């Protein structure tokens, strides 16, 4: 089976954020049949959402993998858990050592109980859109349906 190009968003706002992102990149690159093919700049972003919390470091990765969306999600959740061992009890929406989101998975649309791809946050998160552009993906205007993304 040939590899598909996936875009994975990393976020961290607890602990040594830069080191957490570095380890996440390494861990993703070490997954079976998976390679990190590119990375956006790491950027510091103001927290959005209802919980008052510290600024995030965010980064988008271009990942080539033959894993299925479900298998990749399981692997990313395990990487989050491994990074989370040093953190305080997580508050929903609140600070987290590491968050890994699947933003795009080839040209697939996935709508299951545990996975929505393209990620619904894409239309609203300017930093994701900026990071995708750095990786050569041109998201359409925020008002447009994120499903009609064009890659170039």
Q: Is 143 a catalytic residue?
A: no
Contact 21, 59 (CB under 8 A): yes
CA-to-CA separations, 8 to 53, 72, 86, 91, 105, in angstroms, rounded: 23, 10, 22, 22, 9
Q: Which does 24 bind (CB under 5 to 8 A by kind): Mg ion, ligand A4P, none?
A: none
Q: Give the C-alpha distances (Å, rounded to integers) separating 19 from 4, 23, 83, 86, 129.
A: 27, 6, 10, 13, 23
Residues forming contacts to ligand A4P in the complex (CB under 6 A) are 11, 45-49, 56, 58, 73, 77, 92-93, 99, 101-102, 114-117, 119, 121
99 flagged as catalytic:
yes
The verdict on whether 17 is a catalytic residue reads: no
Told to check if 80 binds Mg ion by CB under 5 A, we report: no
Q: Is position 144 annotated as part of the catalytic site?
A: no
Q: What is the DSSP letter of 123?
A: G
Q: Pick one of Mg ion, ligand A4P, none as the site partner of residue 20 (Cβ within 5 to 8 A by kind).
A: none
Which residues of the shown chain bind Mg ion in the complex (CB under 5 A)?
A: 99, 101
Which positions are catalytic?
85, 96, 99, 101
């Amino acid at each position: 089976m040939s590899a598909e190009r996936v875009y994975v968003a990393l976020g961290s706002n607890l602990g040594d954020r830069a080191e957490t992102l570095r380890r996440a990149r390494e861990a993703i690159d070490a997954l079976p049949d998976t390679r990190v093919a590119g990375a956006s700049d790491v950027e510091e972003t103001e927290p959005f959402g209802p919980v008052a919390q510290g600024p995030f470091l965010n980064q988008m990765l271009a990942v080539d993998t033959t894993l299925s969306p479900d298998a990749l999600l399981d692997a990313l959740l395990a990487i989050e858990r491994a990074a989370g061992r040093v953190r305080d009890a997580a508050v929903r929406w609140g600070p987290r050592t590491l968050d890994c989101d699947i933003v795009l998975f080839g040209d697939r649309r996935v709508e299951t109980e545990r996975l929505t791809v393209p990620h619904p946050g894409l239309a609203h998160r300017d930093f994701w859109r900026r990071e995708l552009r750095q990786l050569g993906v041109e998201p359409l205007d925020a008002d447009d349906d994120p499903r009609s993304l064009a890659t170039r």
